[in-house]
Structures are given as structure tokens and as C-alpha cells.
Amino acid sequence: MPRQLISSGSTFEQEIGYSRAVVEGDWIFVSGTTGFDYSTMTISDDLLEQAEQCFKNIQAALNEAGASLRDVVRVTYVLPVAGDFPKCWPILRKYLGDTRPAAMMISAGLSDPRMRVEIQVTAHRAPSA
């Protein structure tokens, strides 16, 4: 199966030179994804709205790859303010609570001060018959 590159339409992908997701066989690697609404290139100031939008963006990339959030095996959360992480837990549980992937949280600066959370996932879809 040839390598598949998935784009969200974000201007960042062209400017920086990356893909929203890369599909290699049955593996899907979704880039760090922020709370931007790529259709309008806007971002909410609210942390929880950003977390929700991150998952909507991730879900869209996974769907295009023929997978879903149920296929996520690893997730990395990056927040500039470590103390904000517990506030996100209800959103994280909403999207990944049943899947329970291996997870890690890192506190680090993000490339745009408006960004309050970035989420990266790796998924493994069931091989197609």
C-alpha cells in the first residue's frame, strides 16, 4: 500500500512543509494538532473549546485514513501551562475514555501564543480484508 498524505487544508501545512497525517500501511500518524478551525483559520481563546476542536480535527484526519478515534493507540498532549491539564480531562475522557491509549503529557511552549493545547496521536487500523 503506497504512503498516503492527508491534509486538513491548514495554511500551516504548506508554509511549514508537513502533513496533518501520514498513513503507512495500517498505521496512521497524526501530527500535533491544535484548536484551530481550519475552515476559518480561527482559534477560540477557551482551553476546552480548543481541546474539542483538536479532537474534531484529529477525527477528520483519521476518518480520511479509514480509521477512527477507537483506533488510537498512543496520544501525546502538549500544554504551555501544566496546571491546565486537569481542566482538559473531561474532554479527553469524552473522546478517548473508552479507547484508553498509551498517553503522555508534556508542558512546553507552542508556536503561537493563542494555542493552549496541542494533541498528537498514532492509530492502528484493522487490516483491510
- Give the confidence band of 26 by pLDDT, cuts at 50, 70, 90: very high
Portion of the chain with pLDDT greater than 70, in percent: 98
For the chain, the helix, strand and coil percentages under 3-state DSSP, each to the nearest 5: 35, 30, 35
0.85 exceeded by the pTM? yes
Mean pLDDT computed over 61-79: 97
Which regions of 39-117 does DSSP assign to beta strands (E)? 42-43, 72-79, 102-107
May I ask the CATH architecture of the domain 4-124?
2-Layer Sandwich (3.30)
**Mean pLDDT rounded to a whole number for the chain:** 94
